Amino acid sequence: MLFGFDKLTYFAEKTEIFISIKLNIMQHQLLELRSHIAEAVAAIRLLTSSIPGVGIILGTGLGRMAHEISAEQVIPYEDIPHFPLSTVESHTGKLIIGTLSGKTVVAMQGRFHYYEGYSMQQITFPVRVMKELGVEILLVSNACGALNPLYRKADIMLMDDHIKLIGDNPLIGANDNTLGVRFPDMSEPYSQRLIALAEAIALEQSTKLQKGVYVAVSGPNLETRAEYRFLRTIGADVVGMSTIPENIVARHAAMEVLGLSIITDECFPDALHPVSVAEIIETAGKAEPLLTKLLVELVKRL
């Protein structure tokens, strides 16, 4: 049995050992992330020396926009070290590097989701790689459900703000100051400059744009009537299962972000009906030409 000073000494030593182990684990995690980023970038650099200034993440039903890119290299995700693999229908799983509207871009044809079983760090790993490749502006798209009663299927919404209800955060854990600050500011998660540019282009093209707040939940199930009422009450205009983790990491890396949502279903509690993945993809396909036209012109003006 330990008494007095001996007992205090024992617990102090145990605490010191615990802290030392924890610090070693955190240091290992940082070194591992840096190493993984470097290995992924090195594999890509074996195929291209292009430096893309613009990154694009193509969400559900929006993969065909990749055809607008004059591709220099199309790299399957499985050929890039440490990249997750797309498991969701309509997410092809290819990294495209080439030119769009005269600008060098890198585009993800298919993204990753928390509900697929990936960690937040895995989901956002490609954003880290994009940054290392040279990306300063990230354009991210998604499919979502309308909560705002003024929205309709196939509408396009500019993301002005977001609410994260996924229950995890990609920045939890040790922070690498070479990647970003410990407490990144989120007062402007989506660039007001880019939003204004998109609105001006949409006006020229006679394209109707909504602007609102996106809320992200974990999925993969759709929400109940009560959940839709709750989400609308807290200020959300649309609901989805992606985008916010990528946005957080992009802002951590000081990227400028523009978020665009295609509304694929109407989540109005008093007029709710079942919706299928096929319907969601079909609706996204209807809006895709307008979104593609908008993004092509936007990249041209960057």
- CA separation for the pair 265, 81 (Å, rounded): 36
For the segment 203-224, what is each residue's pLDDT rounded down to a tens digit? Answer: 999 999 999 999 999 999 999 9
CB 216 within 8 A of CB 240: yes
| Residue-wise pLDDT tens digits, 135-153 | 999 999 999 999 999 999 9
Structural domain span for residue 27: 4-301
Residue 4, pLDDT above cutoff 60: no
Mean pLDDT of 193-212: 98
**Residue 100 pLDDT:** 96
Q: What is the pLDDT of residues 158-183, one digit of tens each?
A: 999 999 999 999 999 889 999 999 99
Place of tokens 């959300």: 236
Q: How confident is the model at residue 37 (pLDDT cuts 50, 70, 90)?
A: very high
Q: pTM here? A: 0.90
Phi and psi, residue 242, nearest 5°: -155, -165
Q: What is the CATH number of the domain that holds 206?
A: 3.40.50.1580
Strand duo 238-240 + 94-100: pairing:
unpaired
- Kindly provide the residue ranges of all beta strands, DSSP E only, lying in 176-266, ordered along the sequence: 209-216, 238-240, 256-266
Taking CA atoms, 285 is separated from 13, 71, 90, 159, 279, in Å, by: 62, 22, 11, 19, 10
Percent of the chain with pLDDT over 90: 78
> Which segments within 173-292 are labelled E, that is strand?
209-216, 238-240, 256-266
The total number of structural domains that make up the chain: 1
Residue 54 has pLDDT above 60, yes or no: yes
| Mean residue pLDDT across the chain | 91
**Integer Cα distance of 138 and 119 in angstroms:** 21
Per-residue pLDDT, 281: 86
Q: Which residues contact 288 (CB under 8 A, 6 or more apart)?
A: 61, 62, 64, 65, 262
Report the pLDDT value the prediction gives residue 9, as an integer from 0 to 100. Answer: 63
pLDDT of residue 91: 55
